[in-house]
Amino acid sequence: METKLLAAAQAARDNAYAPYSKFKVGAAVETVDGEIFTGCNIENASYGLTCCAERNAVFAAVCSGVRRFKTLCVVADTDEPVAPCGACRQVLAEFPFEKIILANCKGQTKTMSVSELLPYGFGSESMNIKK
């Protein structure tokens, strides 16, 4: 499944809208039921309105009613496997991902947990809220 997820993230990357940074990113999330949702980064001239590939993939799944995930894969054309930005890490912490696969276009990968990406993350337990 990891090969399929990486291929889906790479295909999503092809659709990225990055006219300003030229930094195209793709992401794919696998649900606990094996369904795959993808996202790419979409930039805006007002940089604060830009949305990352990882968040777009998660938001597409959530919009379809999914709340339980297994894996996220993110890919970019970088020397080393690319990692999500801080905002994306916080979004990932909201959901119970089993693992996060960082990848680059050369096929290099690194697998991590959300807690490794965002130690001491802020979540519903920090607010004493039960989901």
| Annotated binding-site residue numbers for substrate | 41-47
> Residues marked as binding?
41-47, 52, 85, 88
Q: Please choose, from the candidates 86, 82, 112, 117, the residue with its C-alpha nearest in 3D space to the C-alpha of residue 98.
A: 112
90 vs 67: CA distance, rounded Å: 15
> Residues marked as binding for Zn(2+)?
52, 85, 88
Specify whether 54 is catalytic. yes
- Cβ neighbourhood burial of 57 (10 Å; 0-12, 13-18, 19+): buried
Contact 7, 14 (CB under 8 A): no
Q: Give me the catalytic one of 2, 30, 35, 54.
A: 54
Active-site residue list: 54
